[in-house]
Chain A
């Protein structure tokens, strides 16, 4: 069987916009090469984190997975469908949902349930099918009790859960989360991360989680690292986070616990491989 996501030598160049009145300084012009030949496969059901410095191409890659952007060169297949074939676009968007960073920009309706129904309504589904999907989606994120709420009465974390429910209502196989927790407080962050993990573990949803938090990335089964439009590392967190010097050179870091573990090892304390969490560390030390 083919992998769920297949990316072959993907290149993407943003068209350049130079406003006509912009004069003075040179250099800003020209095209921006955001992806420089990315190869990647992700299987159905994987939980993958994607990290990389600002501007490395993470969001650009994400936008290719549901045909918001189409390759300048190379190709992307979702469940065997090539995204650049115009007649595949709707099927691809149904299979891959997206959740973005800013909870306030993603909500369009005046109640939670209307917001979640927005996608299925646009798909032209019959009314009871829509109701079914909305109920299922709200149940999956634990917001059934909030269906009649106006979104502005919710916390940031709850708004993100509404956005996730909106994505779920299309019944996707995969959800791409582009920094879903960057603007949340720790409570909201936990709500969202717990939900993401549950959707992956219990509903088998393939997850691609873009994040600047190394601890969040350490929760995934597999960590991808991008730099300047290229995929430069790909492996389980315990292996990727062994390379602290390389990650720091890329503008990244280690999860705090891994950082502590590596310092202690350098000072001669024997610790097992793959210490990622507080619990791992306590088990190793006590």
Chain B
């Protein structure tokens, strides 16, 4: 087992008027090579959970094990394991601190002790992964980039470390539609190539449908669903209960079903929904 979360509870500002319970006795097991999505409304504990998986927070109670070793234990083994987990923060401003894009993305690889040629190669590779032109952006100051560009830099700086466990907290917020899709496709392809473990936090069910095979849903700090992507994402009752939108293609198929048409409703992407409608309406040339 790669990651075990045991009875994890996290309380911010415990004992003050601002006390917030962010996680309540969460238990999870994650195998190496899994592709997992985490969803849930704002404040449900997603960001807190992934920061624990990266060893960045100390539990109020319970613990996180990485390959059987408690993530916070002292000593070289735990430190080495923690270095293999890369978390791209929800807010890039929380993560970016260098003066140029190059130095920002190079920071992690340099920390890994790579030589400068390898560092430069990593930086170029990572910037290309997120759809930025290395020549155009490498010497720019991160805080003078557009919102979407800055987020891409934050993602690149994590990718450049080539972690074995890659965690992305709402990676596509503020990305333009094709950039978003390209990023998901590239990360997905890279995951398959390397068989790394991928954990993605997102409200965008379409993104999860494209990228992950298992979805964990949180609500008020508890795990309320954990199962295969299609199953969780077509559980309309669950999605409504946790305040998430049904993707528009699914909403359309449901409306058609209510109108008496025999369509399947677990089709999240426009192309899939169109094929399903075409099938039921007997359109030709629509076989995909």
User: Interface readout for A256-282 with B: 1 if CB under 8 Å, 0 if not?
Assistant: 110110011001110000000011011
Interchain CB contact under 8 A, A267 and B139: no
- Across-interface contacts of A281 in B (CB, < 8 A): 252, 255
Q: Is B59 an interface residue (CB 8 A)?
A: no
Known contacts A54-B176, A155-B43, A251-B178; A27/B135 CB under 8 A: yes
CB distance from A194 to the nearest CB of B (A): 13
Nearest to A258 among chain B residues (CB) is B270
Interchain CB contact under 8 A, B252 and A253: no
Which residues of chain B (230-284) have a CB below 8 Å from chain A? 243-245, 247-249, 251-252, 255-256, 259-261, 270-271, 273-274, 277-278, 281, 283-284
Contact for A179 among B91, B174, B248, CB less than 8 A: B174
Interchain CB contact under 8 A, A256 and B42: no
CB distance from A50 to the nearest CB of B (A): 12
Contact for A186 among B18, B137, B244, CB less than 8 A: B244
Q: Is A126 an interface residue (CB 8 A)?
A: no
Interchain CB contact under 8 A, A263 and B152: no
- Across-interface contacts of B99 in A (CB, < 8 A): 19, 21-22
Contact for B277 among A28, A150, A186, A264, CB less than 8 A: A264
Interchain CB contact under 8 A, A157 and B42: yes
CB distance from B113 to the nearest CB of A (A): 19
Interchain CB contact under 8 A, B174 and A17: no
Give Cα A19–Cα B206 distance, bound, in whole angstroms: 40
Contact for A185 among B147, B203, B255, B284, CB less than 8 A: B203
Interchain CB contact under 8 A, A260 and B140: no
User: Interface readout for B211-225 with A: 1 if CB under 8 Å, 0 if not?
Assistant: 000000000000000
Known contacts A14-B144, A22-B100, A59-B147; A260/B174 CB under 8 A: no
Size class of A's contact patch?
Answer: 35 or more
B-side interface residues, number (CB < 8 Å): 62
Known contacts A185-B243, A185-B244; A263/B137 CB under 8 A: no
Interchain CB contact under 8 A, A54 and B248: no
- Across-interface contacts of B174 in A (CB, < 8 A): 54, 101, 179, 182-183, 212
Interchain CB contact under 8 A, A183 and B173: yes
Contact for B249 among A253, A260, A264, CB less than 8 A: A260
Give Cα A184–Cα B173 distance, bound, in whole angstroms: 9
Q: Is B76 an interface residue (CB 8 A)?
A: no
Q: Is A124 an interface residue (CB 8 A)?
A: no
Give Cα A25–Cα B121 distance, bound, in whole angstroms: 12
Q: Is A102 an interface residue (CB 8 A)?
A: yes
CB distance from B28 to the nearest CB of A (A): 21
User: Interface readout for A237-263 with B: 1 if CB under 8 Å, 0 if not?
Assistant: 000000000001001111111011001
User: Interface readout for B148-192 with A: 1 if CB under 8 Å, 0 if not?
Assistant: 110010000000000000000010011111111100000000000
Interchain CB contact under 8 A, B270 and A260: yes
Interchain CB contact under 8 A, B252 and A260: yes
Give Cα A19–Cα B277 distance, bound, in whole angstroms: 56
Q: Is A52 an interface residue (CB 8 A)?
A: yes
Interchain CB contact under 8 A, B144 and A17: yes
Interchain CB contact under 8 A, A186 and B176: no
- Across-interface contacts of B245 in A (CB, < 8 A): 186, 189-190
Give Cα A226–Cα B141 distance, bound, in whole angstroms: 24
Cross-chain pairs A/B with CB under 8 angstroms, 30 sampled: A17-B140, A17-B144, A19-B99, A25-B139, A26-B135, A53-B176, A54-B174, A54-B176, A150-B18, A156-B42, A183-B90, A183-B173, A185-B244, A190-B245, A212-B174, A212-B175, A248-B178, A253-B177, A256-B247, A260-B270, A263-B270, A263-B286, A264-B274, A267-B285, A268-B283, A269-B278, A278-B252, A281-B255, A286-B256, A286-B259
Q: Which 6 A-B pairs have the closest CB atoms?
A: A28-B139, A54-B148, A253-B177, A263-B274, A186-B245, A259-B270
Beyond A19-B141, A260-B249, A282-B255, 15 additional contacts (C-beta under 8 Å) are A19-B100, A27-B139, A28-B136, A28-B138, A179-B174, A182-B147, A182-B174, A186-B244, A253-B177, A260-B252, A260-B274, A263-B278, A263-B286, A267-B285, A269-B281
| Residues of chain B at the chain A interface (Cβ within 8 Å) | 18, 41-43, 90-91, 93, 99-102, 134-141, 144-149, 152, 170, 173-181, 203, 206, 243-245, 247-249, 251-252, 255-256, 259-261, 270-271, 273-274, 277-278, 281, 283-286
| Residues of chain A at the chain B interface (Cβ within 8 Å) | 14, 17-19, 21-22, 24-29, 32, 52-55, 59, 101-102, 104-105, 150, 152, 155-157, 179, 182-190, 212, 214-215, 248, 251-257, 259-260, 263-264, 267-269, 278-279, 281-282, 285-286
